[in-house]
Amino acid sequence: MENSEIIDKILLVEDEANIVKLFEFNLKRAGYEVYSAMNGKEALEKVWEVKPELIISDIMMPEMDGFEFRREILKDEFLKTIPFVFLTAKGADEDILEGYDLDIQDYIIKTSSTKVVIAKVKAIVASYKKERDKVINEVQSAASNMIAAVVPTVAPYFEGYEIEHWHQTYQGIPGGDFIDYFELDEENMVVILGDVMGKKWGAYYFAIAYAGYIRSAVRFILQSSENFSPGEIIKKVNESVFRDERISEVYITLSVLLLKRDGTLKYSGAGDLPLFYKKEKVDFIKSDGILLGYFENSDYKDYELKLESGDEVYIMTDGIFEARNEEGVQLSVDGFTKIVENKNNENEMLDEIKKEFDVYTNKKYDDDISIIALKKT
């Protein structure tokens, strides 16, 4: 069996049964796990179920051809990181150029010998693995050398509240999510959650650094400000980000909560997910604040909640809502709402949420997972 450690799963998209049988036989004999689909439409349904390490797709197919299938793949930030190869009987320059315009790794001609096919597959996967491992090592090294971690080990104590958070990195790679808590005084605490968005392996290298940058910027503003409005805090961070050319192309979300011991909660957000709260029922507040750094003079609105004993609040990054089950269906706002509605309030705030989330995803995460929960005592 040849080098089966390099790759586990290949998705083969081909409508000719004889070609499928031939490639399945040779790839399996080389040590790969092979799944097949008859056209692009069927492959789009199967790709989330399989989550392959390589996609090999024919071009001329019914229902959805290979070019259209590839364009659909490129629309998804997770799927487009999977190496992609076109399988074709045609060798015309225009077909080959169109394929490379769609950011594929290579072409395989159907009439190629078995040795050539396997050699190409092994080379593509080895190159991808080398790039991924290099970036992972660099990121992990950079993260370990950062003066301050971007996610605290545990949430702090603040009188009048229970506070918990759950943070899970994607495949053990430090990413762009960051969490912070800043106690202004005995009466006020600021809770901060952000996400520096970037996909593909290379983007993670920058995400961890930018997360630390934004976290430090928020702390600096808190230490030098007399106005503790969450909206004003985000506005000042936005101005700082906008003026900094190093991160002008990075997408950053930010949620800021101001907790008062008397149960007053003020919230503002920049491009973030809704703030969920549970009183008699589960509801949410969706801020209309734009992502950080888009416009220099963006305004960010404050929202206020009055929390009573037992009320709960949740903020999270997109790894929660965008998590998928084995059929590729995202958890979404409705799915998260149902989890919070059905959980037992006698248990720890995040215990049941983590369990239900792991059941839904089968512990297969496509992004960083970050969520902060708080309860008024």
Cα–Cα distances (Å) from 292 to 27, 31, 59, 228, 245, in that order, read 47, 47, 40, 19, 13
Helix (H, G, I), strand (E, B) or coil at 238: helix
Q: Cβ of 172: how many Cβ atoms within 10 Å? A: 9
Cα–Cα distance, 150 to 208 (Å, whole number): 8
pLDDT per residue, tens digit, the chain (377 aa), is 333 344 578 999 999 998 899 999 999 988 889 999 999 999 998 998 888 889 999 988 998 999 999 999 998 877 888 899 998 776 555 666 777 788 888 888 888 888 888 888 888 877 877 777 776 666 556 555 543 467 888 899 999 999 999 998 776 665 678 899 998 888 999 999 988 875 444 445 556 666 777 878 888 888 776 767 999 999 988 888 888 766 656 778 999 999 999 999 999 999 999 999 999 899 999 998 999 888 888 999 999 999 999 999 999 998 898 888 888 888 999 999 999 998 877 777 899 899 999 999 988 887 788 999 999 99
pLDDT at residue number 201: 43
Q: Give 18-27 pLDDT, tens digit per residue.
A: 889 999 999 9
Cα torsion 197, 200, 201, 202: sign: negative
Amino acid at 236: K
Q: Cβ of 310: how many Cβ atoms within 10 Å? A: 11
Cα–Cα distance, 268 to 287 (Å, whole number): 7
Amino acid at 190: V
Range 43-46 contact pairs with CB under 8 angstroms and sequence separation of 24 or more: 43/11, 43/13, 43/69, 44/69, 44/72, 44/73, 45/328, 46/11
- Check: CB of residue 156 under 8 Å from CB of residue 364: no
Q: Give 262-308 pLDDT, tens digit per residue.
A: 999 999 999 999 999 999 899 999 998 999 888 888 999 999 999 99
Cα–Cα distance, 286 to 333 (Å, whole number): 11
What totals of helices (H) and strands (E) does the chain contain, helices first? 10, 15
359: left (phi over 0), alpha (psi -120 to 50) or beta: alpha
Domains with residue ranges and CATH for the chain:
9-142 (3.40.50.2300), 146-376 (3.60.40.10)
- pTM of structure: 0.65
Q: Cβ of 202: how many Cβ atoms within 10 Å? A: 15
